[in-house]
Amino acid sequence: GAVVSQHPSRVICKSGTSVKIECRSLDFQATTMFWYRQFPKQSLMLMATSNEGSKATYEQGVEKDKFLINHASLTLSTLTVTSAHPEDSSFYICSARVSKYGYTFGSGTRLTVV
């Protein structure tokens, strides 16, 4: 089946630095990918929708300049958390659309900003 590989699985960074999270579709082409954020014991909150070759669509309240999304190819979308702060610590999950209503999720990235 369709597999999405997300890296890194865990990252610890210093406050003020930037972190890049990658999401790759391994055996299919993903024209649309979604980025979610999940706080402990909470549900997945959609941050943005990225479409290959065009600008990402951000949800209300998500800072575009803080969370940079690039979807330059049909198999790779990246999320860069710029100038990270402790409040950005969270679990970030990507998802790729594999069919009209079908999605597959990455395994998530635990970001800790110290």
CB closer to other proteins out of 82 and 108: 108
Q: How many residues bind other proteins (CB under 8 A)?
A: 25
Contact region for other proteins (CB under 8 A) — 13-21, 42-50, 69-77, 80-88?
42-50
Query: Sign of dihedral through CA atoms 16, 111, 19, 62?
Result: negative
Q: Does 34 bind other proteins (CB under 8 A)?
A: yes
Q: Does the footprint of other proteins cover residue 57 (CB under 8 A)?
A: yes
Please identify which residue in 21, 81, 104, 113 interacts with other proteins, judged by CB under 8 A: 104
Strand pairing of 76-81 and 19-25? antiparallel
Of the candidates 18, 14, 20, 49, the residue with the CA atom closest to the CA atom of residue 109: 20
44 binds other proteins (CB under 8 A): yes
Instruction: Give the pair of three-digit tokens for residue 65.
Output: 């300049």
Binding site for other proteins (CB under 8 A): 6, 9, 32, 34, 41-44, 46, 49, 57, 91, 93, 95, 97, 100-108, 110
